[in-house]
Amino acid sequence: MDLLQNTIRPYAWGSPTAIPHLLGTEPTGEPQAEMWMGAHPGAPSRTPRGSLADVIAADPERELGAAAVARFGPRLPFLLKILAAGAPLSLQVHPDLDQARQGYDDEERRGVPLDAPHRNYKDANHKPELICALTEFDGLCGFRAPVQAADLLDGLGVDSLKPYVDLLHAHPEDAALREVLTAVLSADREDMARTVTEATTACTRLGGDYGPYADLAHHYPGDPGVIAAMLLNHVRLQPGEALYLGAGIPHAYLNGLGVEIMANSDNVLRCGLTPKHVDVPELLRIVRFEPSDPGVLRPEASPDGEEVYETPIDEFRLSRYVLPPGGATHDLTRPTPQILLCTAGTVRLGDPGEQELTPGRSVFVPAGEHAEVSGTGTLFRATVIA
């Protein structure tokens, strides 16, 4: 088992204190948004044997197992993160596998540089993801029923929003949602900025259900994404609860600390709440315009104490062990690669003293490697289904 040294990403929306508090280190005063665990080429974890990407590339079947290599190729198919949102992330959506391949191939044919700011597809893979809350965690996920979104917008008393309210009462619902999102993102920027300013004043005055959108507007004044966000479900996760975000589901993380796992991809189509490129026609091709419940996930416990967050994809499988004082030792040996992450307490791996994990520390366990855990605390387990 390899103890991992992981890169912390200083994105502007990151909390300056949440990750340092978890790790027991002093804040630097700068935002610390994500800690990456895995072999993503952008910031692979480091091990005593070299970068995890190089370790896997040197002997994929040894590190990943023959079944995982046959299923997903010679690379770790997931990326595990600790995510600390101190401010809202961009409103975004991810493509499915076919859409990603088509989009990537199209931009390659057209010679769009991979680092171009208007490039949509960095790779040909999809990016389903799961976020599990470590603290209270606020987010937006999936479309509200159009009539509910209409009531929310109408309650602001902003005249320039009335046409959107009327459209949201139209049928069928998917067409109504498509038409309103298209109109919001395609509107004249100056006109929309005035509408957002009026809406922000109303949200601040009304509070309650409007509070999250007042906060969005504080961070992104005049951004049409503030109005687009009001079409979505607001959800507050309690620690241990999770959200699964499949292809085509618009979403944004607003505030909180969580463990995130995703397929190893960088493909993001943005809807707003960002100074970055928004490709409206491509976005409309990807978004699933269907009302949905956010679908809060709670882990399903197995007899051996493993609590699994069930998802419909195989590139990753996230579970956790909550280890009580004086509890049993658990055998986590598995024929697929694993990353084990401690988020609370002290977790021991292997023979006494072999490895000891405290909050924020993680290890990579090659396929088939014997792995026993004990101690008192919380341990997240990331692997694949192959």
ω into residue 366 within 30 of 0, thus cis? Answer: no
Average pLDDT of span 173-202: 95
Average pLDDT of span 259-284: 90
Nearest partner of 71 among 359, 347, 316, judged by Cα: 316
State pLDDT tens for residues 248-268: 999 999 999 999 999 988 899
Per the DSSP assignment, residues forming a β-bridge with 50 are 47
Higher-confidence residue of 372 and 352: namely 372
**How high is the pLDDT of residue 206?**
96
**How high is the pLDDT of residue 334?**
95
Rounded Cα distance between 62 and 336, Å, is: 10
**Whether the predicted pLDDT of 90 surpasses 60:** yes
Mean pLDDT of all residues belonging to the chain: 94
**Whether the predicted pLDDT of 79 surpasses 70:** yes
What count of other Cβ atoms lies within 10 Å of the Cβ of residue 64? 27
**Whether the predicted pLDDT of 353 surpasses 80:** no
**How high is the pLDDT of residue 352?**
58
**Whether the predicted pLDDT of 226 surpasses 90:** yes
Quote the pTM value.
0.94
- Are 377 and 344 in contact by the 8 Å Cβ rule? The answer is yes
**How high is the pLDDT of residue 351?**
66
Nearby residues of 147 by Cβ (< 8 Å), 6 or more positions away? 168, 169
Higher-confidence residue of 131 and 1: namely 131
Percent residues over pLDDT 90 in the chain: 87
Average pLDDT of span 235-246: 97
pLDDT bin (cut points 50, 70, 90) of residue 181 is very high
Per the DSSP assignment, residues forming a β-bridge with 263 are 78
Average pLDDT of span 197-205: 96
**How high is the pLDDT of residue 386?**
87
**How high is the pLDDT of residue 172?**
94
State pLDDT tens for residues 307-339: 999 999 999 999 999 999 988 899 999 999 999
Average pLDDT of span 117-142: 94
Average pLDDT of span 59-69: 97
Question: Active-site residue 270, yes or no?
Answer: yes
Average pLDDT of span 208-220: 94
**How high is the pLDDT of residue 75?**
94
Burial of 348 (0-12, 13-18, 19+ CB in 10 A): buried
Token pair, residue 303, equals 């007899």
pLDDT bin (cut points 50, 70, 90) of residue 242 is very high
Rounded Cα distance between 143 and 147, Å, is: 11
Output DSSP code: residue 50: E
pLDDT bin (cut points 50, 70, 90) of residue 10 is very high
Amino acid at 386: A
Which residue of the set 46, 75, 144, 270 is catalytic?
270
State pLDDT tens for residues 12-59: 999 999 999 999 999 999 999 999 999 998 899 999 999 999 999 999
